[in-house]
């Protein structure tokens, strides 16, 4: 997943967070919710870091940006930290999301129950195919993309997901922006051009698989080397680099 554009913060009191920290906050939040469900009231930085899949030094630095340092010998208050991260991420109320493109991927996304537990609700479904318009998916009726402006205003939608073929994605993005959407999650395998102030996150599953293929190729090459050629620590360094690629 990659970010194509970064917008300004919401105000003078909003924490000025590095993008890498913002990307890790949802991982901390997920881990904290699991800890809370398991009955934990507090967690050490080491425990939370392990649950989130990062090192403890990185976690402490990230949380320091929020003004959270934890209590020596006690750790972090799980409930308070959940509240603070949700506040920073703007998850104090469920955000309405529009999904454009209800093919195989879009259909699966529309039925994904995990959005509701993470602070979002799919409020509207759209497609340009008249054959899909009127279809019922997870309690919603697929609307035609021509209805975008009306529905975006009615549902107060500022975030949209594009799950269309690549050739249609830019046109859809243009229509979303014109309707008032200011944040886009793009699953189409293409780069979108959007105005200043519109944020785009790109999810390309093929790219992620290609990165994993690189790591598999490298591991195979290292394994094939004669033992005398493999320098001490070489494989460990490869593993650390690979882990960093996943963690960041």
Q: Tell how far CA 194 is from the center of its chain.
A: 19
pLDDT of residue 179: 97
Higher pLDDT among residues 98 and 117, named by residue = 98
Higher pLDDT among residues 239 and 43, named by residue = 43
Model pLDDT for residues 20-56, shown as the tens digit of each residue: 999 999 999 999 999 999 999 999 999 999 999 999 9
Q: How far apart are the first and last CA of the chain?
A: 10
Higher pLDDT among residues 79 and 9, named by residue = 79
pLDDT of residue 238 exceeding 50: no
Three-state DSSP string of 98-110? EEECCCHHHHHHH
User: In whole angstroms, what is the distance from residue 3 CA to residue 23 CA?
Assistant: 10
Mean pLDDT, residues 171-196 taken together: 97
pLDDT of residue 242: 43
Q: Tell how far CA 99 is from the center of its chain.
A: 15
- Could you tell me whether strands 120-127 and 2-3 are parallel, antiparallel, or unpaired per DSSP bridges? unpaired
- pLDDT grade for 118, boundaries at 50, 70 and 90: confident
| Strand locations in the chain (E) | 2-3, 42-43, 76-77, 95-100, 120-127, 136-137, 140-144, 159-162, 183-186, 199-202
- pLDDT grade for 227, boundaries at 50, 70 and 90: low
Closest to 205 (Cα-Cα) out of 99, 90, 97, 108: 108
């Amino acid at each position: 997943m990659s970010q194509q554009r970064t917008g300004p913060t919401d105000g003078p009191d909003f924490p000025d967070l590095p993008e890498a920290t913002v990307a890790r906050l949802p991982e901390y939040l997920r881990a904290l919710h699991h800890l809370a469900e398991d009955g934990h009231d507090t967690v050490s930085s080491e425990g939370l870091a392990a649950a989130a899949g990062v090192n403890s030094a990185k976690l402490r630095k990230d949380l320091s940006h929020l003004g959270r340092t934890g209590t020596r010998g006690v750790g972090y208050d799980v409930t308070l930290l959940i509240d603070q991260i949700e506040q920073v991420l703007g998850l104090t109320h469920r955000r309405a999301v529009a999904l454009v493109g209800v093919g195989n991927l879009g259909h699966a996304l529309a039925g994904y129950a995990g959005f509701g537990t993470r602070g979002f609700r799919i409020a509207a479904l759209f497609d340009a195919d008249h054959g899909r318009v009127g279809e019922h998916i997870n309690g919603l009726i697929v609307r035609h993309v021509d209805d975008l402006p009306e529905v975006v205003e009615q549902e107060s939608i500022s975030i949209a997901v594009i799950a269309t073929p690549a050739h249609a994605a830019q046109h859809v993005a243009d229509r979303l922006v014109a309707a008032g959407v200011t944040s886009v999650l793009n699953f189409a395998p293409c780069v979108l051009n959007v105005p200043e102030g519109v944020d785009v996150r790109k999810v390309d599953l093929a790219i992620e698989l290609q990165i994993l293929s690189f790591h598999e190729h490298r591991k195979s090459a290292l394994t094939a080397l004669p033992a005398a050629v493999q320098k001490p620590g070489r494989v460990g360094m490869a593993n650390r680099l690979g882990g960093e690629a996943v963690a960041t």
